[in-house]
Chain A
Amino acid sequence: MSEAEYDLIIVGGGPAGLTAGLYAARAMLKAVLLEKGAVGGQVLLTDWIDNYPGFPEGISGFELVDKMAAQAARFGLETRLGSVVAMALAGPVKRLTLEGGGELTAKAVIIATGARPRQLGVPGEVELTGKGVSYCATCDAPFYRGQEVAVVGGGNTAVEEAVYLTRFAAKVYVIHRRNELRATRIVQEEAFANDKVEFILDTQVRRVRGNDQGVEGLELLGNDGAERFLPVSGVFMLIGTQPNNDMLPLTELAADPYGFIPTDAEMRTRLPGVMAAGDIRSKAVRQVVNAAGEGAVAVLAAEEYLHRHG
């Protein structure tokens, strides 16, 4: 009874979406994957991935998602570039409005819109983005050859990328607001062993100072009240993620207080025929490996839904 154009629309082309695309193509569903910018998602921001199984020497973020995209393409997955601005997901025919006009319809939808690096939210940050404020060490590290830079954050990404930055920068300060790091032990130990990495703990960034030429340094405030200025020419904000959820009906999907989408163990959201997978899900662990797994599970749930409602 539905007149949907597609069986399944996958929104987002990171590891979750690409794996969903692979499974959907192999299941011979009439499916399309929509990606707003660059296929790959946040993995593209990672220099090297050592914890995705099957690559004993590790693999670059770009190469990993490039292989995932090629694998889905091999089975004929249709991929389109374009942003979704709104979704009507409650009825049997799901309607997705595209930026610049146009609409796509499907019987089922997988939300794999992912997350993006979180902004710190201090004065100077937005104005100096691209002029010394960065969210991607692997993209921008080579601009800081022989210079002093800072990393803000204390998790795996922050500490790993601080070590990566030492290949170029003369000195890398890691600024973290707590007195201990959240990064996993092996990551911490590599950073502690690196002479070029210096930790500034119990300290917050109050302002990024700069001029037309770019970043000059950071105004810091210690948890003990001490103020200081740290001269650096670059600062990498690696303090976690925020969900890409602007286009989602958050109330209907019962988003959590941070804007992530809860699902059951089969990746089903509370809306029938709507699944979510990857970093957009409300969950504790955001790794490439579980994003890929969730993409596969979401397609199996979609297939089951289509079988019952097709």
Chain B
Amino acid sequence: MAGDKVLHVGDGDFDAQVLKSDVPVLLDFWAPWCGPCKAIGPVIEELANEFDGKARIAKMNVDDNPATPGKFGIRAIPTLIVFKGGEVVEQVTGAVGKTQLVAMLNKAL
């Protein structure tokens, strides 16, 4: 299953899985009520396959995990953030194309 490579992160393991990751992490903040979030799901899965081993591709459901989006001032979804060494290096809001996300990840590699 392609989707298995996408890591599901919560408030509890955000520090360990994202901030302390030894590879860059693309984190997709989403929610089940957000159409564009659901629609970019397949792109996120493709990225997880293509960047397997090089970067971590993760999703966080903002409904179940309010603390982390609050910490990053997120008031719109989908918001996608690339973390590197615990820092935000790239951020974009909206259902952007795959090419833009690939470019954001490549910059962080």
Contacts and interface: CB of A to CB of B under 8 A. Distances in A.
B38 A62 contact: yes
Contacts, number: 95
A44 interface: yes
B37 interface: yes
A130 B36 contact: no
Given A37-B97, A130-B74, A143-B76, A138 B39 contact: no
Interface in A100-143: 100, 129-136, 138-140, 142-143
Interface residues of B, number: 29
Contacts of A60: 35
A61 interface: yes
Nearest to A44: B35
Contact of B75 (A83, A100, A132, A135): A132
A202 interface: no
B93 A38 contact: no
A82 B40 CA distance: 12
A143 B37 contact: no
Nearest to A141: B33
B93 A100 contact: no
Contacts of A133: 76
B45 to A, nearest CB: 11
A217 interface: no
Which of the four size classes fits the interface of chain A? 35 or more
B95 interface: yes
Given A37-B43, A38-B40, A139 B34 contact: yes
Nearest to B34: A139
A62 B79 CA distance: 18
Contacts of A46: 35
A134 B63 CA distance: 18
Contact of A131 (B37, B73, B96): B73
Given A129-B93, A131-B75, A81 B34 contact: no
A40 B75 contact: no
A139 B76 contact: yes
B98 interface: yes
Interface centre among A39, A46, A99, A139 (most CB of B within 10 A): A139
Interface centre among B73, B75, B79, B95 (most CB of A within 10 A): B75
Given A81-B42, A99-B99, A129-B93, 5 more contacts: A65-B39, A81-B97, A83-B99, A100-B99, A234-B75
